Structure 1
Amino acid sequence: MTVQSGSHLQRHESLREQALVVIRKGLIAGEIKPGEIYSAAGLAATLGVSNSPVREAMLTLVQQGLMEPVRNRGYRVVPISDKDLADIYQVRVMLEVPAMGQLARTGKVAARAGEFGALADDIVRGARDEDLVLYIDADRQFHLGLLAMLGNDHLTSIVENLRDKTPQKGLGVLSQQGRLVKSAEEHRPILDAVVAGDAGRAEELMRQHLSHIRGEWNKPEGD
């Protein structure tokens, strides 16, 4: 497992929150795998922190339905079924596609086009360099940041939770094969459409992007 080590954990955040972020990244990237059992001590050693914040982070994931306790052994990632994946992406399409259209109509993003453009560039760079930490970080900030500009905290929270529930099992393989770049390059056109106020195009590009994620990222490794 190659989750980020403790040297990257910044002290201005609580250790529990930092551990939670790193574990979630491992879940999303497929480095922490469904069905396998992980001990708090083992993950704490990997992260270079004490057991307590890691255990608290794992309990948070239990409450969110992403992990389950295994008596006297640790915690297991709850496997997600194909139906669950399909249902989650259906909800994401229902929420995120019209949200991009609505955001395009507000005209708010133009003032922050440079900021989101830099994130779009980071997503592509992460894909090209096979830097999954950079890719996941920038992708998360890009999508959730755009949604946050609508000013609906419930919308952003729901989508964030749905993203956390969908480990991208084939992400590492796609990166190694160079196919992750294609998905990465879809972010700039979405941003351009939103900035231009083209609601219809923003919605269509977002729909295509989510379809690409559903069809490619969650294929079993080796496909």
Structure 2
Amino acid sequence: MEQTGARAGEPSAPSAGEPLTGESPAGEPPVGESPVAESPAGAARARVPGQATGESRGRGPARPERTHAVPGPRRPVRRSSVRGQILAALRHALVGGELAPGEVYSAPALAERFGVSATPVREAMQQLAVEGAVEVVPNRGFRITERSTRELAELAEVRALLEVPVMLRLARTVPAERWAALRPLAEATATAAAGGDLAHYAESDRAFHGAVLSLSGNQQLVQVADDLHRRSQWPLVSGLVAGRRADLLADAAEHMALLEALTAQELDVVASLVKEHFTGSES
């Protein structure tokens, strides 16, 4: 039953205490390296071919016209890059159980942990609040959402309603060699499951499902399904720690079985596997 573990295509999460790049703005470029701003008056003073200069009129050597280099713009602070790294790190911590459901965490404390300022942490936490992973607690920080088993069951049902018809259509139309190309992704989930690495299993699991659905050519579908998938993966539900590695191994085995059924165009098996994968039941 795929209710444990948390894009595809996301930045890798830095480890706690690892400094993040791109937060400090770079200095301005040296004066004189950027183009000179041209004003209408400056254009009027430009020499025209054949025009007499001050020196030819007997006024002595013409003074060189002064020009002032305009400093180039500051290099933009790569705040979006830092925020993306923090967001990936927080997602990794959520799925891995490092941030406990029901607990409140302050942005400054998390910022110190990751070696950045509080601003990108707050921005990342606001995104997680939109996704339903955390709740804003005024003047305190962010509380990790406690997901109920009923919510997880509802998410699994919605995912099955969305993905089963799509996979049945893909089974009829996608050639076998396209499914064979996805085997490394399925094998990656098995490797993460064997190591009991919940966070990396979640990432590889979403990568596999995203790659399957992307064969439909419908990016809106891929995005909606990925959001539902992510919501079903965090926060961890109490009581699922025991036997988690066995659950991950079972889920990973279903990935391989699903690829084989899709390749063989066994529609009944595809439908049964997807429903069981999401809900833990064939009904």
Q: Structure 1 length as normaliser, TM-score?
A: 0.80
Q: Which residue of 1 aligns with 2:268?
A: 200
1:91 is displaced (CA, Å) by: 0.6
Select the residue among 87, 111, 118 that pairs with 2:178.
111
Equivalent of 2:153, from 75, 86, 104?
A: 86
Tell me, yes or no, if structure 1 residue 101 matches structure 2 residue 111: no
CA distance in 2, matches of 1:88, 1:26: 21
Q: 1:29 to 1:108 in 2, by over 3 A?
A: farther
Q: Structure 1 residue 74: deviation in Å?
A: 0.9
Among all aligned residue pairs of Structure 1 and Structure 2, give the percentage whose two residues are the same amino acid. 36
Deviation at 1:140, TM superposition (A): 0.9
Larger radius of gyration: 2
Per-residue Cα deviation, 1:130-157 (whole angstroms, up to 9, x for no partner): 2223211211100112112212222222
Please name the residue that 1:44 is paired with.
Answer: 111
Q: SS in structure 2 opposite 1:164? A: helix
| CA distance in structure 1 between the aligned counterparts of 2:95 and 2:257, rounded to whole angstroms | 24
Map 1:33-182 onto structure 2 (within 5 A).
Answer: 33-107=100-174, 110-111=177-178, 113-114=180-181, 116-166=182-232, 167=234, 168-169=236-237, 172-175=241-244, 178-182=246-250
Provide the C-alpha distance between the structure 2 equivalents of 1:32 and 1:57, rounded to a whole number of angstroms. 14
Give unmatched runs, 5+ long, in structure 2. Answer: 1-12, 23-77
What's the RMSD between the two structures over aligned residues?
2.8
**How far is 1:188 from its partner?**
0.5
TM-score by length of 2: 0.65
Q: CA deviation at 1:51?
A: 2.4
1:191 to 2:201 alignment: no
**Structure with more helix by fraction:** 1
| Paired residue total | 209
Change (3 A) 1:83 1:149: same
Q: Would you say the 8 A contact 1:183–1:212 is kept in 2? A: no
